[in-house]
Every structure is written in C-alpha cells, then in structure tokens.
C-alpha cells in the first residue's frame, strides 16, 4: 500500500517538477527569472490560463500548439514532464523497510525508514538535475557552471554526512557495525574522501582524453563542461558507477553519430552532421540516469561474468 501511494504521489510530484523544469529550461539560457513573469506564450506573449499549465494534459488537449497564435510549443514539454514523473515514480516504488520483526529491531526502524526516504529524495533531486543538464546540452550545448559546480560540492558533502550519520546511528543503537573505537575515524572520513577522489578521478579522465585528443587532432574534443559533469557523476555515484555512466554515454553517443552519418545528408544541413557537434553531455546524463538506477546490478553482473 505504501509502495502504491508512494509511487503515485512521487509520479504526480515529478510531473509538476518536470513542468517547473520546462520553465527553467526555456528561461535559463536567456538569463530570465524563473519565477516571474507568469507562464506565457513565447510568440504572442499571452499569459497562460491555469488550465493551460497542467502538466502533460494541457499539451495533449492543445495538441502542442498555442491556443491563440497556433505556434508549435515543442515536444520537449511533455517529454521532460513524462521523464521526471516516470523517474520519480520509479524511485519511490522500491521496497520500504517493513514492520519490526526478527530482522529489524523496533528501535532502529524509524531511523532506517528516514534514511531510506532521505536517500530516495536525494536520488530524485539528482535525476531532476541530470534531466535538466541533458536538455540544456542538447538544445544549447551548454552545461552551466551554476548547476554543475554546486552540485559536485553537495554530492561530496552528502557522502561525508552519510558516513557521519551512519557511525552516529551505530553508537546510538548499540548495533555496532564498526569494530571498536579505533575504526571510528576511518569509518567517518573514508567514504567522503573516496567520493571526493572519485569526483577528481572522473573529471581527470575527461581532461586526459581531451588532452590526448588535442595532441593528435589539434582540436577540442570534449568540453570542460563534460569534465565538470563527470565530476558531478563521480561525487554522487562513486567512481565505478560514474565510469559505467561514461561508458554507456560514449557508446550511446557513438551509435547516434553512426546513425546520423548513415542517414542521407539533408541539403539544408549544409556542413552535415560529421562536423556538427554532438551533445556528449546529454549522452553522459542518460548514462548517469541508467547508472544511478541500475548501476549496482549491472556492475555486479559484469564482475561475475568477468570472473572477479
Ligand atoms: Zn501564442
């Protein structure tokens, strides 16, 4: 019951936050405020009525066009709303810690539940951010520092807080997972430090590839924005899952590039796709979303398969 309610509630909340994200995605690139003025048509400037702002339904009812001037609103609006809604619903649909039984002592159930909810909330915020970056890079080849840099710091701080709270919870409940007191310092600090190192290593990988590419081609391949995005993935997911995201992103990007190359070039394209920049950040974000949701089982299966 909790699962169903949680899924529906989080899904609807995701639609609403996806709708807000659409406003941000239209206004950030122009340097406009996301709170005012109220939502309006970009062509005829008419302020939208409340019923034209309902996520998904309004777009369907209006068939994607402005009611007065008939301008095509764009497929990105329902796509973003649907994506955030589906991702949030999916995250909320996971198993919740059950009633106290032989496995879970009643004294720690509230802590356990609180930590599960906090973890899911953070995952939802992280996924929202990745959808935002994916669209911004796809539409503007832009991964803004005001999104990536603070998020890197927040990801590392969360990793530190997480291990502090886990050690505190251990000593509060007396369920010591850590042996003795000499292990405490290590248990408190190492997860955060590992995340910090993961962020640096993930960014370093992109910088290294960028440098090698420049040596060979004397041209810029990956942008600095991609390095910051990888640092963000490292800070939130840890190095193994960040590398998985990178691998998935590069493969996906290569597949898309291949398909575009095979398609007959349209005459209006001029230069064609070969020299046109593909938004690598978009593919890295998609890889990050997959890695965030299913990274552990994928990596586990890979390790078993490769015989580790
Ligand atoms: Zn209009």
Q: Domain extents for the chain?
A: 1-106, 141-308
What sign does the CA torsion over 82, 83, 88, 89 have? positive
Ligand 1 centroid, distance to 70 Cα (angstroms): 6
Ligand 1 centroid, distance to 68 Cα (angstroms): 5
Residue pLDDT, tens place only, 72-90: 999 999 999 999 999 999 9
Concatenate the DSSP letters of all residues of the chain into one string. -HHHHHHHHHHHHHHHHHHHHHHHHHHGGGT--SSSS--B-TTT-PBPPGGGSSTTHHHHHTTTB-TTT--B--THHHHHHHHHHHHHHHHHTSPPP-SS-SSS-TTTHHHHHHHHHHHHHHHHHHHHHHHHHHHHHHHHS---HHHHHHHHHHHHHHHHHHHHHHHHHHHHHS---S-TTHHHHHHHHHHHHHHHHHHHHHHHHHHHHHHHHHHHHSS--S-HHHHHHHHHHHHHH-HHHHHHHHHHHHHHHHHHHHHHHHSPPPGGGTT-TTTSPP-HHHHHHHHHHHHHHHHHHHHHHHHHHTT-
Residue pLDDT, tens place only, 150-205: 999 999 999 999 888 877 777 766 655 555 555 677 778 888 999 999 999 999 99
Ligand 1 centroid, distance to 28 Cα (angstroms): 20
Q: What separation in angstroms does the CA of 158 have from each of 52, 151, 182, 189, 198?
A: 38, 10, 23, 12, 14
Ligand 1 centroid, distance to 30 Cα (angstroms): 19
> Mean pLDDT of successive 10-residue segments in the chain (308 residues)?
91 97 96 92 92 94 93 95 98 85 76 89 98 97 97 96 81 58 72 95 96 87 92 98 98 93 66 66 98 96 88
Ligand 1 centroid, distance to 82 Cα (angstroms): 23
d(CA 308, CA 258): 33
Residue 295 structure tokens: 């990274």
* Contact status, residue 276 vs residue 268, Cβ threshold 8 Å: no
The pTM assigned to this predicted structure is 0.92
Ligand 1 centroid, distance to 48 Cα (angstroms): 9
- pLDDT value at position 9? 96
Ligand 1 centroid, distance to 139 Cα (angstroms): 21
């Amino acid at each position: 019951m909790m699962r169903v309610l949680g899924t529906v509630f989080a899904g609807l909340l995701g639609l609403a936050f996806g709708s807000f994200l659409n406003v941000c995605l239209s206004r950030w690139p122009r340097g406009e405020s996301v709170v005012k003025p109220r939502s309006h048509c970009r062509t005829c400037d008419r302020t939208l009525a409340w019923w034209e702002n309902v996520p998904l339904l309004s777009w369907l009812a209006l068939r994607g066009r402005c009611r007065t001037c008939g301008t095509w609103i764009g497929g990105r609006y329902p796509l973003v709303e649907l994506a955030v809604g589906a991702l949030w619903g999916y995250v909320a649909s996971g198993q919740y810690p059950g009633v106290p039984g032989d496995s879970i002592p009643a004294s720690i159930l509230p802590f356990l539940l609180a930590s599960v909810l906090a973890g899911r909330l953070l995952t939802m915020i992280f996924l929202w951010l990745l959808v935002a970056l994916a669209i911004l890079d796809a539409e503007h080849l832009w991964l803004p520092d005001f999104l990536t840099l603070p998020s890197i710091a927040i990801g590392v701080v969360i990793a530190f807080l997480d291990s502090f709270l886990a050690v505190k919870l251990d000593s509060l409940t007396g369920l010591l997972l850590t042996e003795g007191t000499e292990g405490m310092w290590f248990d408190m600090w190492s997860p955060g430090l590992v995340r910090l190192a993961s962020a640096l290593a993930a960014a370093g990988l992109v910088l290294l590839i960028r440098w090698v590419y420049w040596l060979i081609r004397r041209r810029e391949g990956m942008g600095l924005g991609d390095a910051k995005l990888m640092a963000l993935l490292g800070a939130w997911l840890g190095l193994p899952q960040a590398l998985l995201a990178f691998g998935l992103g590069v493969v996906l990007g290569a597949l898309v590039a291949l398909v575009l190359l095979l398609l007959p070039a349209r005459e209006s394209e001029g230069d064609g796709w070969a020299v046109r920049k593909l938004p690598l950040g978009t593919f890295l974000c998609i890889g990050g979303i997959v890695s965030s949701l299913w990274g552990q089982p994928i990596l586990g299966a890979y390790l078993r398969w490769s015989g580790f």
